[in-house]
Structure 1
Amino acid sequence: MSSGRAAALTTAHDLLRRHPLIDGHNDLPWTLRKGFGGDLRRVDLSGPVAGTRTDLPRLRRGGVGGQFWSVYVPGTLQGDAAVTTTLEQIDLVQRMIARYPDDLAPALTADDVEAAFARGRIASLIGAEGGHSIANSLGVLRMLHRLGVRYLTLTHNLNVPWADSATDDPVLGGLGAFGREVVREMHRLGMLVDLSHVAAATARDVLGIAEAPVLFSHSGARAVCDHPRNVPDDLLRRTAANGGVCMVTFVPDFVSPRRRAWTLGLEAELARRGLDRRDPAARAAVEAEFLTDHPRPRATLGEVADHVEHVARVAGPEHVGLGGDYDGTDDLPDGLEDVACYPALIAELLTRGWGEDACIALIGGNVLRVLRVAEAVSRTLAAQREPATADVGDPARA
């Protein structure tokens, strides 16, 4: 390691000791559900956990001071099943926090995050990934907020009846009328509207009515890697005008143009054979053959830094953050293999000329600002209007 790189890494560690790094998205709760049935007696997060990218020692080494834990449930779950499973995931996160009180602390507000960090704890916030989790009910939305959920990603990979996803065939052309009620109610509650996973048209519709800053909890820059999960420049500029933040993800297919091209090649081969690219068994079988002549390219830490820099150039350094999506993806860029690797990314940015103030904003200052503004907007709106009681009989109505 060069002396310059070593000095940058020392500075990165120092910044992370003094300022909370707040990551926008981590899927450890679903990994614990899949691998251990959600039974925390079967897993010890105070040591290495096989098959995960996240545990308490690695969070500490990575300088993580705040984490949005995702209470993701698959989009194939609908109605009561989606709500029940989401509640079980919230319960799992709350039990995890209670089980490790010397390391984790619950956080509902920006002040809670800073207080936890000052006490040497990792502030633990909750984000729900996908509007299917509310089953077309504003009452369920309110109850999720009461249970600690502080952002809702409006869709996951599939459309919901009131909003189009980035990775599904468009139905509404954006946000439906009930979706607008969801956004209004989220602002009244002080719950952040998360636009990762939604179609660009949906995001534009949200930004057209937003009363508080939004966030993209785990997305990249479309101009750097042309993937529908990434954010086009016009939306980055509108996010900046809204006061929001785009938290850059580490998912290789969203990060690396070479990796994206490889995936498109695999999907073209599936299509050539008349197979559904979303069929896991078919995809795995074809991929095993495809790899023989088409080695899978590796994404890199430097490519993630390229996304961070692009968002900062287009939206401004006040509107970029980090949302790794650890334990939500099978593969990660070289140099960012687990949650211990954040200092290396900060060091890379420092070597590219980033100042300490810009790094402090990136790692947590920007999302803390968004939380505080959303809280202030909520206080105003809650005094002005009653809880919404929109008709959910036709959530997609125009």
Structure 2
Amino acid sequence: MATPQPSPARLEEARALLAGAPVVDGHNDLPWALREQVRYDLGRLDIAEDQRGSLHTDLARLAAGGVGGQFWSVYVPGELAGDEAVAATLEQIDCVDQLLARYPERLAEARTADDMEAARASGRIASLKGAEGGHSIANSLGTLRAFYALGVRYMTLTHNSNTDWADSATDEPAHDGLTRFGVEVVREMNRLGMLVDLSHVAPATMRAALDASEAPVIFSHSSSLAVCDHVRNIPDDVLERLPANGGIAMATFVPKFILPEAGEWTLRADENLRARGFHHLDTTPAAMAAHRAFEEANPRPSATASTVADHLDHMREVAGIDHLGVGGDYDGTAFTPKDLDDVAGYPNLVAELLDRNWSAADLAKLTWSNAVRVLREAEIAAKEIQRGRGPSNATIEELDGKK
């Protein structure tokens, strides 16, 4: 069945709205794709050129999609630990810095909300860094501070596996959410002004982090559990707490997280990849060729912009318009919705929401101002916290008795 397309007039309206209030996307894995495909040789995979077929992201499609702010993920796999995880995260941070140096006319480093506004005023994409997984700090608050100094402005407390101090949504519970050291990590992130990202974490971790946090939190790429019963999504009771906290939930586009029928199909597709020697998150051309062959034999249930809009409608009803955003997870997922194929697709989502009578003011909050506000409020909270306490030198051994 063909995916319904927005009318030309509606698309034109969507693009006009994005020209004034561009998308701040919460999560894009371009740095990891560049590591996996060309080992950071940016000349071999130049995003100033059309990279369709290799990447979801290039500069022309970012412009076509109305993207004005991007949290670039400096993700490393949970299988890495200790110094190896720290080193790989530093390499990812360096990749983003290389992108900024290579494309200064299109990308602007942003470390503050004011930087984001200045980038928009200059017609460039405000580029922030987000660390995906607390394993990256190797149980060291000093490493956390070093990442902040290098421009990391959020950290996802876990990825797909538990850390020594926080439970993941996709692992067996071990800590009842956060350990004492985990609470200290949240407190130190608040003191720095680094956003606490609760995507990927278990519901118990979400609740514990909201209890502990003195600043707004984010979900950089998570959707609604009530709409699609997947462990990566956010329960309504957690969404209900966002207004009091001030945080935002950035709906993701990953089909298996937003469309129930896609979940079972993706499990089989992932197993097909592993049987052929690929990691299930591999998006290299060889892995994608294996995916396409599987899909030809096993047609894939297709999410659309309408599927994402269903999540946003519910999330707005529960959390309120001031607490929503979008986080596509481009270049971090093998599959995307049919009309959100890549970073050029955001106008299709805005057009869908316009068809559902979302106002221009509400859409501007969703795409731009909520994300800027949250970062600004985290900065304000940090200044206040720093008046009362200095850097924490607590250790996991001291607080949790772990070696």
Same fold per superposition (TM over 0.5): yes
- 8 Å CA contact 1:82–1:135 kept in 2: the answer is yes
Aligned partners of 1:363, 1:351: CA distance in 2, in Å?
16
1:212 to 1:278, Cα distance in 2 relative to 1, 3 A:
farther
Superposed displacement of residue 7, structure 1: 2.5
Superposed displacement of residue 20, structure 1: 2.8
Paired amino acid for 2:56: R
Q: How does 1:47-196 map to 2 (within 5 A)?
A: 47-49=49-51, 50-196=53-199
Aligned partners of 1:101, 1:380: CA distance in 2, in Å?
33
Between Structure 1 and Structure 2, how many residues are aligned? 391
Partner of 1:218: helix, strand, or coil?
coil
Superposed displacement of residue 70, structure 1: 0.2
Superposed displacement of residue 241, structure 1: 2.0
Please name the residue that 1:367 is paired with: 371
Mark the runs of 5 or more structure 1 residues left unpaired by the alignment: none
1:264 to 1:396, Cα distance in 2 relative to 1, 3 A:
farther
Mark the runs of 5 or more structure 2 residues left unpaired by the alignment: 281-286
Please name the residue that 1:5 is paired with: 7
- 8 Å CA contact 2:6–2:348 kept in 1: the answer is no
Instruction: List per-residue Cα deviations over 1:185-208 (Å, max 9, x = no partner).
Output: 000000000000000000100111
- 8 Å CA contact 2:232–2:257 kept in 1: the answer is yes
- 8 Å CA contact 1:240–1:316 kept in 2: the answer is yes
- 8 Å CA contact 1:176–1:397 kept in 2: the answer is no
Q: How does 1:208-223 map to 2 (within 5 A)?
A: 208-223=211-226
Please name the residue that 1:236 is paired with: 239
Please name the residue that 1:388 is paired with: 392
Could you tell which deviates more after superposition, 13-22 or 140-149? 13-22
- 8 Å CA contact 2:15–2:66 kept in 1: the answer is yes
Kindly indicate whether residue 324 of structure 2 is the aligned counterpart of residue 320 of structure 1.
yes
Kindly indicate whether residue 305 of structure 2 is the aligned counterpart of residue 305 of structure 1.
no
1:69 to 1:288, Cα distance in 2 relative to 1, 3 A:
closer
Instruction: List per-residue Cα deviations over 1:231-273 (Å, max 9, x = no partner).
Output: 0100100122211000000001001111124346779xx7xxx
1:227 to 1:133, Cα distance in 2 relative to 1, 3 A:
same
1:103 to 1:283, Cα distance in 2 relative to 1, 3 A:
closer
* Aligned counterpart in structure 1 of residue 258 of structure 2, from 247, 255, 260: 255
Aligned partners of 1:370, 1:262: CA distance in 2, in Å?
36
1:111 to 1:290, Cα distance in 2 relative to 1, 3 A:
closer
Instruction: List per-residue Cα deviations over 1:90-129 (Å, max 9, x = no partner).
Output: 0110010110011000000111011011001111000000
Paired amino acid for 1:365: S
Paired amino acid for 1:212: A
Instruction: List per-residue Cα deviations over 1:365-392 (Å, max 9, x = no partner).
Output: 1111111110000011111101001122
Could you tell which deviates more after superposition, 293-302 or 100-109? 293-302
Paired amino acid for 2:384: T
Paired amino acid for 1:380: E
Partner of 1:247: helix, strand, or coil?
strand
Paired amino acid for 1:251: V
Superposed displacement of residue 327, structure 1: 0.2
Aligned partners of 2:178, 2:129: CA distance in 1, in Å?
24
Q: Give the alignment's TM-score, normalised by structure 1.
A: 0.92
Q: Give the alignment's TM-score, normalised by structure 2.
A: 0.91
User: CA RMSD for the aligned pairs?
Assistant: 2.6
Paired amino acid for 1:376: I
Aligned partners of 1:206, 1:69: CA distance in 2, in Å?
23
Aligned partners of 2:381, 2:4: CA distance in 1, in Å?
47
Aligned partners of 1:252, 1:258: CA distance in 2, in Å?
9
Paired amino acid for 1:225: C
Aligned partners of 1:262, 1:369: CA distance in 2, in Å?
38
